[in-house]
Amino acid sequence: MKRKLNVLLTGTFFLVTGMLISGCGDKSAKISGVEKTKDGGYTVTISEPQHSLGYLPIYIAQNEGYLNDSKIKLSYLTGGGGAHVKSVISGDSWAVIGSVDSNEAAAVGSDVEFTSIVNCAAKANVYITAATVLPDYKGSLELSPSNTELIKYFIQLYNGKPVTITAGRYGGTPNVLVRYMLVKLGFKEVSPTEYSYSGNGISGTLYMVNTADASAIKATVESGGAQMANPADPMLAAGVIDGTWYEPFLKFHDLGDFAYSVLSTTWKAIETEEGKEIAQNIVSAIVKSLKKCELARKEFVAGKTGENYAWLLKCAKDEFGSSYSEKDLVTCVNRALTDAWWSPDGSISKQALDIDMEVMAVTGIYTGAYTYEKCVDMEFVNKAK
């Protein structure tokens, strides 16, 4: 696959979270990121850009025991600055949670070929919010050069200087979506940290902080380093509740079906029967989780908060309760269900891939060729249904 890339390199680091890999197991000689355990099972390492509520169905797959029969235990590597994707390329992780475009961009110059095997968050799950030092925006959200109301909001001055937005790491999908929005509004990129607008009788500048570590977004706003942001839940909810920022004024869910948070491994990892079996067991567990999350969503939108909703809220508390309040998590879960974050069945459609890659191409960050057949493998999802 030919790839073209224009990427600003950022620092890389890993923070090991979740269950740590036991040192007494035998490293599999066949599959990177997989360690055989003494009971005949496996510890499988999955990397993620941040520990996010958007990935809750994946966490549920293990926490609720859906992998017990297959003797698979999941371990998580959380890495900023694109380290989550690079960990698969280096062989430290078996799979990565993220978008297809991030995989393709990170694989430039390597011989690793990714394939996405199950969907998790099937919407462009990105929100833009403003710090409470700014006026709250309540105007038109049309992404068009004619929407001068929204353009003026982005080029407003704060303390006599252009506003700054912190938007995650350069080249990451949340960051790319912010850039996509600005291009659609008619902004021009001056540099990776500056956009300018001139037209309709107005002109101005918007600065951008490319935060390598997504967990630092809230701190950046709190310290005055930015006045707008694109935080993910539970951070988004926590910031609304403590007054750091308003409820988001813009979201990207209207883009429709989107390959936003998919689980991807390499073609090499699933070329053997052993590799296929591991993938099938993990995908089947995630699909089971997604289907139950969909039942909770249907309850919620029907105005009910029955046993499935209660179960989902409990799962969120089990995973995030030590770091976030119950009020935070209720807000997060309700937003997830209202905006239909999660795939109902794990499928990744061609449309979802095409929109994902189009967003990246519009920004000019990645313009490489791709095919659905090369980037996506739905054999495991189809068998799980």
265-279 mean pLDDT: 96
- Which amino acid, one-letter code, is at 182? L
pLDDT tens column, 82-138: 888 899 999 999 999 999 988 888 888 888 999 999 999 999 989 999 999 999 999
Taking the CA atoms of residue 324, residue 45, residue 104 and residue 13 in that order, the dihedral angle to the nearest 10 degrees is: 60
- Check residue 79 and give its pLDDT: 81
Domain covering 15-122+258-288+346-384 in this structure, CATH number: 3.40.190.10
Query: What pTM did the predictor assign?
Result: 0.86
| Confidence (pLDDT) at 234 | 87
pLDDT band of residue 21 (cuts 50, 70, 90) is very low
What is the location of CATH 3.40.190.10 in the chain?
15-122+258-288+346-384, 127-251
* Residue range 325-355, pLDDT digits in tens: 999 999 999 999 999 999 999 999 999 999 9
Query: Would you call 102 helix, strand, or coil by DSSP?
Result: helix
Closest CA to 75 of 120, 10, 21, 117: 21
Q: Is the C-alpha dihedral spanning 126, 131, 132, 137 positive or negative?
A: negative
Ramachandran sector of residue 171 (left: φ over 0; alpha: ψ -120 to 50; beta: rest) = left
The single-letter code of the amino acid at 99 is S
User: What does 289-311 look like in DSSP terms, one character per residue?
Assistant: HHHHHHHHHHHHHTT---HHHHH
Q: Is the pLDDT of residue 11 over 80?
A: no
Contact by Cβ (8 Å): 363, 183: yes
DSSP structure string for 174-198:
HHHHHHHHHHHHT-EEEETTEEEEE
- Domain 127-251 class in CATH: alpha beta
Per-residue pLDDT tens digits for 297-324? 999 999 988 999 999 999 999 999 998 8
Q: How would residue 196 be classed by pLDDT, with cut points 50, 70 and 90?
A: very high
Model confidence pLDDT, tens digit, residues 132-161: 999 999 999 999 999 999 999 999 999 999
Is residue 367 scored above 90 in pLDDT? no
Q: How many CB atoms lie within 10 A of CB 18?
A: 18
pLDDT for 34 equals: 96
Per-residue confidence (pLDDT) for residue 82, from 0 to 100: 80
Give the confidence band of 2 by pLDDT, cuts at 50, 70, 90.
very low
Q: What is the pLDDT of residue 368?
A: 82
